[in-house]
Structure 1
Amino acid sequence: MGFAAVYVARDMFFPIMIGLLVALTFSPVVRSCARVGIPTSVAAVAIIFGAGMALSLGFYLLSGPVSEIVADVPAMGAELREKLRGVLASIEDVKDASEKVEELASGSDGAAVVTVKQPGLLAFAAGSIANFMGLTALGLIFALFILASGDLFYDKLVDAFRTSSDKRRAKNTARDIERQISRYFLTITIINAGLGLCVGLAMYLIGLPNPMLWGGLAFALNFLPFVGSLFGAVLVAAFGVLSFDTLGMGLLPAVVYALLTSIEAQFVTPTILGKRLNMNTVSVFLTVIIWSWLWSVPGALMAVPFLVMLKVICDNVPSMAVLGNFLGAKAVPENNA
C-alpha cells in the first residue's frame, strides 16, 4: 500500500527527495560560511545558483555533440546494420523461427490485429528530460529554503523528542547523515570526474570521434550503479564499430571503457570511500531496483544516497542495528588466535 501511494505521488516526492539530498550535501558548507561571517541566506543562494549553473553548463556542453548524433541516428543505424550483417542475420533467423512457433501455438486464423502506435522515442525522451529538469528545479528551490533556514530544521527535529538522550541521539544522527551524504557526493563526484577525464583521454588516443562527449557521458553514467557502466560500454561499442574499419578495432574503445570503469568500481571507489560507506551489494541492487521502479533513471541516481542515509540511521538507532548490519558490507572476520 505504501509503495503504491509513493508510486502514484512520485512526481510530488521527487523534488522533495532532491531538495533533501542537496540540502544535506551542502549544509556543512553553509555552516562553514556562517562561521566566517557570511550570512546563511547569502551562502544558500550562492550554492544553489552555482549548482543550477553547473547543471545548465553540463547540459549545454553535451547538447551540441548529442544533437549531431541524434540527427545522424538513421544513417548510423543503417551503417551499423551493414557492418554487423552476419551477426544480425543469425539473430533474424532465430527471431523468424520463434515467430513461426508462436503462430503455430496461437493458431492464427488471419484475423486483423489492431496495434496502438506509441509515441516516438525522441519525443518520449524530450518529454522525460523536460519533466526531469522541471522537477529538479523545484527540488533546488526546496533545498534553497532548507539551507537558508540554517539550523531551524535540526532544532525542530530535536524538539520532537522528549528525553535528553533521545534529543542528543537525534542531533548526532542528523549531523552524521549530513557528514556522510556530503562526503559521499563529494567523493563520488571527484572520482567520476577523474574517470571521465581518463575515458575522454583514452578515446582521444584511440581515435574515437567526440572524446569529450564520451568523457562527459562516463562522468554522468557512472552515478548509475550497475547499469551505468554497461550502458556506456554498449554506446561506445556501437560508435566504435561505426568509426573504425575492422570489428576488432571498433570494439577496442568499449573494452578500454569497461576496463577503466571496472578499475574504478573494484579498486578506486572502495579504497577512497572506506569501509564505513561500503555497502552490501545485494542491498544496493535491491534499492536501485525499487527506486528505478519509482522514478526511473533519476531514482537510480538517488538510490545509493538514500541507502547511505538509511545506513547512518541504523548505525545510530540500536533497535535498527540488525538492518544496519545487513546493509553494510561483509565484515572482516576477527582472528581468534
Structure 2
Amino acid sequence: MQSRLPEKPSTRRLPPKSNIELLISKSAEVAAIAVGVVAVVFALDAAEFVLAPVVTAIVVGLMLGPVATSLERHGVPATVSAGAVVILFLVILAIAAAALAAPLSTWMSRGPQIWQELQIHLSQLREPLATLQDLRDQLRSTVGGEGVTVSVEEESAMESVATLAPAIVGQVLLFLASLYFFVATRYQTRHSILQVCVSRKLRWRVAHIFRDVERSVSRYLLSISIINVGLGVAVAIAMLAIGMPSPALWGALAGLLNFVVYLGPAVMAVILFAVGLTQFDTLGGSLVPPLVYLALNLIEAQFVTPHVIGRAMTMNPFVVILSIAFWIWIWGPLGGFIAIPVLLVLYSIAANIIPGIAWIPEERTVVMRPADPRNVRR
C-alpha cells in the first residue's frame, strides 16, 4: 500500500477591496489622525500652566547646555554645573531688567501723550476714514443688524494682582526647577530612553535624534542670541544718530523682539513709529525711526543670519509662520519664543525617521579617497 501524503490546506485569497472600501478605510485613518491632533491641541491648551514653563525650561536648557558641558569637562559635578547654568540665566535676566526698567516705565507713562500725537497726525486721514464709516453704516442698514452693546465690569488692580501673583510665582518656580533638573540629569534621561529601545537600529536612530536636537537647538539659539545682541547695538547707535531719546531701550527691545521672527520686527516697527510721532513734527519724519530699524533688520535677516547659521538650516517661511501663529495662539508670547526651537526638534526627528530629509548640516565632512597602492604594504 502506498502511503498518501497529507494534503496541503487550500489557501483562499480574499477578493480585492473595492474603491469604496478603500475610500472608507483611508477616511477612517484620516479621521483618527484628525481626532488625535485635536486632542493634542486641547491638551496643550488645558495644561498651559504646567507645560509652558517646563517646555521653556527645556529650550533654555538646550541653549545653555554647552556651558554646563564645558564645566563638566573640567571636573565640575553635574549638579553644580546645573546650578551655575540657573544662576547665569538669572543674572542675565536681572541685568536686562535693570537696564530696561527705568526707561520703559518712563515711556509707558507717556502712553496717553503718544496716543494724542497719533490722533493728531492721523487726522489727515479723516476723510478716508469717514468714507469707510459711511460704507459700514450702509452695510449695517442693508443687513439689518443693530449695534451690540457690551458691558464689561472692570476689576480693581489689587484684585488682578492678587489673582495672578500666585500663578506667576508658581510658574516661575516650576520653570527654575525644571531648568535645573533638566540640565543636571540630561545624560541620565538620554541613557534611560535608550535603554527602552529594544532593537539596535531603533537605539541608533534615537541616539542620532538626541544628537541632532541638542546640536541644532543649541547652535540656533546661541547664534541667534549673539546676532540679536549685535542687532540691538546697531539699532541703539542708529537711534542715537537720528536723535531718538533712550536709544539703549530701543536697542534692547529690538534684540528681544527679534527672537520672534517676522512678528517681532513688525511690532518693533510699530512701536518706533508711535514714539517717532512724539519726536518729529511731520508724519514723514515719524517714519524715519521704523524705516531705519527695518533696514537694519533686513540686513540681519538676509545676510548676517544666513551666513552665521548657514542656509542649510533655513526653514520654510510658511512653516515658520504657521508654527509661530500656532504657539502664540496656544501659549501667548511665551509660545512665540519656543516656536522655532520646537520646529527644530520636529525637523530633527523627521530627518532621522523619514528618508530623504537631511537638512541638518554636518559639522565635518569626511571624504574617503582610495588608498595609494604605493603606500600599501605587501
1:175 pairs with 2:211: yes
Query: Could you report, residue by residue, the CA deviation over 1:78-123 in whole angstroms, capped at 9, with x for unpaired residues?
Result: 1221132112453244234413531442254xxx954131659x99
1: CA distance between counterparts of 2:349 and 2:165?
Answer: 33
In 1, Cα distance between equivalents of 2:269 and 2:160: 20
Compare CA radii of gyration and give the structure with the larger one.
2
Aligned match of 1:272: 308
Whichever residue aligns with residue 174 of structure 2, its letter is: L
| Equivalences for residues 139-218 of structure 1 within 5 A | 139-218=175-254
Tell me the distance in 2 between the aligned counterparts of 1:139 and 1:191.
25
Is the Cα–Cα contact under 8 Å of residues 117 and 277 in structure 2 kept in the other structure? no
- Give 1:21's aligned residue: 59
The equivalent of 1:43 in structure 2 is: 81
Q: Quick one: distance in 1 between partners of 2:248 and 2:214?
A: 33
Aligned 1:223-302 pairs, distance under 5 A: 223-302=259-338
Aligned residue number for residue 335 of structure 1? none
Q: Matched residues in 1 for 2:324 and 2:54: separation?
A: 18
Match of 2:90 among 43, 47, 52: 52
Q: CA RMSD in A?
A: 2.8
Question: Please, which moves more after superposition, 132-141 or 246-255?
Answer: 132-141
TM-score, scaled to structure 2: 0.77
SS in 2 for 1:84: helix
Gaps of 5+ in 2: 1-38, 362-378
- The superposition leaves residues 56-93 of structure 1 with CA deviations (integer Å, 9 ceiling, x where unpaired) of 32123212122112212112211221132112453244
Contact 1:277/1:308 (8 A) holds in 2: no
Distance 1:77 1:129, change over 3 A: farther
> Cα distance 1:41–1:156, how it changes in 2: closer, same or farther (>3 A)?
same
Alpha-carbon distance between aligned partners in 1 of 2:321 and 2:153, rounded to the nearest angstrom: 30
1:76 matches 2:108: no
Please name the residue that 1:117 is paired with.
Answer: 152
Tell me the distance in 2 between the aligned counterparts of 1:255 and 1:63.
26
Distance change (3 Å), C-alpha of 1:166 and 1:69 = same
Give the drift of 1:30. Answer: 1.6
Letter in 1 for 2:195: D
* Alpha-carbon spacing, 1:196–1:61, altered in 2? closer, same or farther (3 Å): same
- Aligned mates of 1:201, 1:156 — CA distance in 2: 50
Letter in 2 for 1:45: G
1: CA distance, partners of 2:219 / 2:148: 56
- Residue identity in the other structure for 1:316: N
CA distance in 2, matches of 1:133, 1:241: 37
One-letter amino acid matched to 1:140:
L
Structure 1 contact 240–249 (Cα < 8 Å) conserved: yes
- 1:80-99 maps to which residues of 2 (within 5 A)? 80-99=118-137
Percent identical among aligned pairs is 31
**Distance verdict in 2 for CA 1:171–1:125, change over 3 Å:** farther
Q: Matched residues in 2 for 1:12 and 1:103: separation?
A: 48
Q: Which residue identity lines up with residue 95 of structure 2 in the other structure?
A: L
Q: What is the distance in 2 between the residues matched to 1:77 and 1:47?
A: 42
Equivalent pairs, count = 321
Cα distance in 2, alignment partners of residues 309 and 95 from structure 1: 48
Q: Which amino acid aligns with 2:249?
A: L
Contact 2:72–2:78, Cα closer than 8 Å, also in 1? yes
Please give the alpha-carbon distance, in whole angstroms, between the structure 1 residues aligned to 2:297 and 2:129: 29
Q: Which residue of 2 aligns with 1:11?
A: 49
Deviation at 1:166, TM superposition (A): 2.1
Q: Judging changes above 3 Å, is the alpha-carbon distance between structure 1 residues 5 and 119 closer, same or farther for their aligned structure 2 residues?
A: farther
Aligned to 1:228, the other structure's residue is in SS state: helix
* 1:145-191 deviation per Cα after TM superposition (whole angstroms, max 9, x unaligned): 12122511111111110122322322222122111111111100000
d(CA) in 1 for partners of 2:145 and 2:295? 49
Task: State whether residues 81 and 88 of structure 1, in contact with CA within 8 Å, keep that contact through their aligned partners in structure 2.
Answer: no
What 5-or-longer segments of structure 1 have no aligned partner?
330-337
Output the CA distance in 1 between the equivalents of 2:328 and 2:110: 30
Q: 1:311 to 1:134 in 2, by over 3 A?
A: same
**CA 1:217–1:124: 2 relative to 1, 3 Å:** farther
> Match of 2:264, as an amino acid?
G
Structure 2 counterpart of 1:116, one-letter code: S
Letter of the 1:54 partner, please give it.
I
Structure 2 letter corresponding to 1:80: L
TM-score (norm 1): 0.86
Q: Would you tell me which structure has more helix in proportion to its own residues?
A: 1
Deviation digits for residues 12-45 of structure 1, max 9, x if unmatched?
A: 2111211211222223322221111111111110
Task: Tell me how far apart the structure 2 counterparts of residues 204 and 107 of structure 1 sit (CA, whole Å).
Answer: 51
